Amino acid sequence: MTSISRLIAATLLCIAAPAQLAHAADYPTRPVKWVVPYPPAGTTDVLARIIAQWLTEHMGQSFVIENKPGAGNNMGVESVVNSPPDGYTMLLVNPANGINATLYKNLSFNFIRDIAPVAGLVRTPNVMEVTPSFPAKTVAEFIAHCKANPGKINMASSGSGTSVHLSGELFKSMTGCQMLHVPYKGAGPALTDLMGGQVDVLFDNLPSSIGHIKGGKLRALAVTSQEREPSMPQLPTVAETVPGYEATAWFGIGMPKGTPKEIIDKVNAEVNRALADPKMRERLAELGGKPIAGTPEDFGKVIAAETAKWEKVVISSGAKVE
């Protein structure tokens, strides 16, 4: 490269850098699309809409939810990966993204490589639950009953490879319980059959089960988080009986790789302000959500750690895509 060429290149860089910074300072100047890879009305969708409302009110533009379910979450992810990295397309990051990295063998993307972490939102526990007529009333009693009846306990899930399924598989691997996995197409049918006595146990997301538990239709044995759930403090954790057990659903925001850091940092800062707001924290607590505020790098570590954790569970359980 000649000295003149180097001078031109340096000049172009100097022009581009302030332009990019100015763009980030003005962001957003038009509506932002937030892809939620689940159908409307579920816990995940509700969470996204709560945060989207805050961002809309505080960032001066609409953050519009686009529900894009399909292919076990992968359809929505792929659409974001292939979007321009300009800050106007976001993804609701969730446990399936960490699980699918191992569960699916021929994905067109690498999640950790192709999605830039923006901000963590919340962690929510799952709940180990049975019908009121089930013989066990504690986790210890459940394990004893399971070992006395190997292979006779039916463990429901909302689908093969979901966090609900793999929470149960982790329990099996750590306790030696032999249970038959019965996958359903969603939590709704699984809950219906659990309440009807067709299956024996479910490790469901707490928000979708809490009403049935409080209504006496299901008996909760324990939550799957490391700490007890504040909304149900009398309920123990699985780890109090099975040391080291922990399985939570975690959620956050991602954008296409290459999105300007200034834009990512701007959204991150606003999300952290939302998570620090007392009224917002109260609303999230109603979903069983515990805020996971931090930097984009902090959320990137969460994604990496969860991907590594569930890789082991997928492989050891032999989980397959339906």
- Amino acid identity of residue 154, one-letter, is N
pLDDT (0 to 100) of residue 207 = 80
Cα 44 to Cα 15, 99, 222, 232: the distances in Å are: 42, 16, 22, 21
Ranking 11-20, 34-43, 85-94, 254-263 by mean pLDDT, the lowest is 11-20
pLDDT (0 to 100) of residue 230 = 87
Share of the chain above pLDDT 70, in %: 93
**Crossing angle of helices 3-26 and 261-276, rounded to 10°:** 20
pLDDT at residue 4 greater than cutoff 80: no
Per-residue pLDDT of 115-138, as tens digits, reads 999 999 999 899 999 999 999 999
Task: Catalogue all structural domains in the chain, each as residue range(s) with its CATH number.
Answer: 31-124+248-317 (3.40.190.150), 125-240 (3.40.190.10)
Per-residue pLDDT of 183-217, as tens digits, reads 887 788 899 999 999 999 999 988 888 889 999 99
pLDDT at residue 322 greater than cutoff 90: no
pLDDT at residue 11 greater than cutoff 90: no
Cβ contacts of 243 within 8 Å, gap of 6 or more: none
Per-residue confidence band for 19, with pLDDT thresholds at 50, 70 and 90: very low
pLDDT at residue 3 greater than cutoff 70: no
Cα 10 to Cα 17, 24, 158, 265, 312: the distances in Å are: 11, 21, 55, 26, 48
pLDDT at residue 41 greater than cutoff 90: no
Mean pLDDT of 10-25: 56
Q: State the DSSP H helix or E strand holding residue 113, giving kind and residue range, or none if neither.
A: helix 111-114
Per-residue pLDDT of 133-180, as tens digits, reads 999 999 999 999 999 999 999 999 988 888 899 999 999 999 999 999
pLDDT (0 to 100) of residue 92 = 96
The DSSP secondary-structure symbol of 27 reads: -
Per-residue confidence band for 85, with pLDDT thresholds at 50, 70 and 90: very high
Q: Are 190 and 196 in contact (CB under 8 A)?
A: no
Q: Which residues of 260-277 are buried (b: 16+ CB within 10 A; e: fewer)?
A: beebbebbbebbeebbee
Closest CA to 219 of 240, 198, 244, 202: 202
Closest CA to 235 of 246, 244, 225, 222: 222
pLDDT at residue 304 greater than cutoff 90: yes
pTM for the model: 0.83
Mean pLDDT of 51-69: 97
Ranking 63-72, 194-203, 271-280 by mean pLDDT, the lowest is 63-72
pLDDT at residue 295 greater than cutoff 50: yes
